[in-house]
């Protein structure tokens, strides 16, 4: 019981720290974007110069608190005295110069204007992309740090723990599965799930949360779909033939910048060759 209480306290503290960090960085970055008088080339350069040091520092901080949290969790689970290992979070998390990445919201704005959209609507599109970039980079910092910390601590498997009041269907379904530590946690833009080590070194099996999986199936069924035990959506054609519309609901695909990306098998996917240079 004491161990469960400690782990609950560690999780609560980590959630509070990471949520606060995320909120503060997003507020700062969006505030800087909103305060610009215009959105020309010079404004983009000034914006990047202003926000990038704070963004990069926040990514390092996300890595540090993730390392501290997971090291403490693993130590308690395994009965060891493991301390934080000291993780390395690269500045170019996507393999792309971060200055280029944080110029992309302006490219989005310029592209929208070139397509004839109203000025306010174009700026709003740029702002939305900036929000996605900022949140995704913090999540990438978390996942890179988590993999290093769990490997060093001796964990072999982990799960995706849902956080916040709202979670997308991809994350809910993915949270019912176990993942191997040697594989980076798959994410999607705006994801805020956290990795949580699974005690022991015995493989618990692919499905680790039957109840949540059943609830997800029930929700899909309530929307008019039929779901089999493996999580496949079953449909009947006009001629009465039963077909599986999803081979699996959740798959992981490799994104050229994010790394492992949660997706649905029938969704179209943009590969590394489709990512623009700016």
pLDDT in tens, 241-278: 544 433 345 556 666 666 665 665 544 434 434 334 33
Pairing of strands 259-263, 251-255: antiparallel
pLDDT at 31: 98
Checking if the pLDDT of 101 tops 90, the result is: yes
Interatomic CA distance for residues 4 and 35, integer angstroms: 46
- Please check whether residue 175 is in contact with residue 159, taking contact to mean a CB–CB distance below 8 angstroms: yes
Q: Which residue has the higher pLDDT, 239 or 53?
A: 53
Q: Which residue has the higher pLDDT, 10 or 211?
A: 10
Interatomic CA distance for residues 89 and 144, integer angstroms: 7
Q: Across residues 224-232, what is the average pLDDT?
A: 49
Interatomic CA distance for residues 241 and 238, integer angstroms: 7
* Closest alpha carbon to 185 in 172, 174, 176: 174
- Please check whether residue 236 is in contact with residue 228, taking contact to mean a CB–CB distance below 8 angstroms: no
- CA angle (173, 140, 18) in 5-degree steps: 85
Q: What global pTM score does this model have?
A: 0.75
pLDDT at 246: 34
Q: Across residues 114-138, what is the average pLDDT?
A: 95
Burial of 47 (0-12, 13-18, 19+ CB in 10 A): buried
SS3 158: strand
Interatomic CA distance for residues 6 and 111, integer angstroms: 51
Checking if the pLDDT of 35 tops 60, the result is: yes
pLDDT at 192: 75
Identify the weakest region by mean pLDDT among 11-15, 83-87, 184-188.
184-188
pLDDT band per the 50, 70, 90 thresholds, residue 123? very high
Which phi and psi angles does 130 have, rounded to 5°? -60, -40
- Please check whether residue 82 is in contact with residue 71, taking contact to mean a CB–CB distance below 8 angstroms: yes
Structure tokens at 68: 């501290």
Interatomic CA distance for residues 63 and 149, integer angstroms: 9
pLDDT at 82: 64
pLDDT in tens, 163-199: 766 667 677 777 787 888 877 776 666 777 888 888 7
């Amino acid at each position: 019981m004491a161990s469960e209480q400690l782990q609950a306290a560690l999780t609560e503290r980590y959630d509070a720290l990471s949520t606060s960090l995320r909120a503060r960085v997003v507020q700062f970055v969006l505030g800087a974007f909103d305060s610009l008088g215009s959105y020309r080339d010079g404004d983009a350069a000034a914006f990047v110069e202003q926000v990038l040091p704070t963004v990069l520092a926040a990514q390092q901080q996300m890595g540090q608190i993730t390392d501290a949290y997971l090291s403490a969790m693993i130590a308690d689970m395994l009965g060891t005295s493991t301390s934080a290992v000291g993780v390395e979070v690269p500045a170019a998390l996507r393999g792309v110069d971060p200055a280029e990445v944080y110029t992309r919201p302006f490219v989005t704005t310029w592209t929208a204007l070139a397509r004839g959209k109203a000025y306010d609507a174009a700026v709003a599109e740029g702002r939305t992309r900036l929000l996605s970039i900022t949140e995704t980079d913090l999540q990438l910092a978390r996942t890179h740090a988590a993999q290093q910390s769990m490997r060093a601590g001796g964990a072999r498997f982990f799960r995706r723990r849902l956080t916040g009041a709202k979670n997308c269907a991809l994350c809910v379904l993915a949270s019912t599965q176990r993942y191997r530590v040697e594989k980076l946690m798959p994410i999607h833009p705006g994801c805020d799930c956290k990795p949580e080590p699974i005690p022991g070194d015995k493989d618990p099996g692919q499905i680790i949360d039957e109840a949540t999986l059943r609830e997800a199936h029930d929700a899909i069924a309530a929307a008019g779909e039929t779901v089999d035990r493996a999580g496949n959506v079953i449909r009947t054609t006009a001629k009465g033939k039963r077909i599986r519309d999803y081979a699996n609901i959740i798959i992981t695909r490799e994104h050229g910048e994010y790394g492992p990306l949660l997706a649905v098998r029938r969704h179209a996917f943009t590969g590394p060759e489709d990512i623009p240079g700016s």
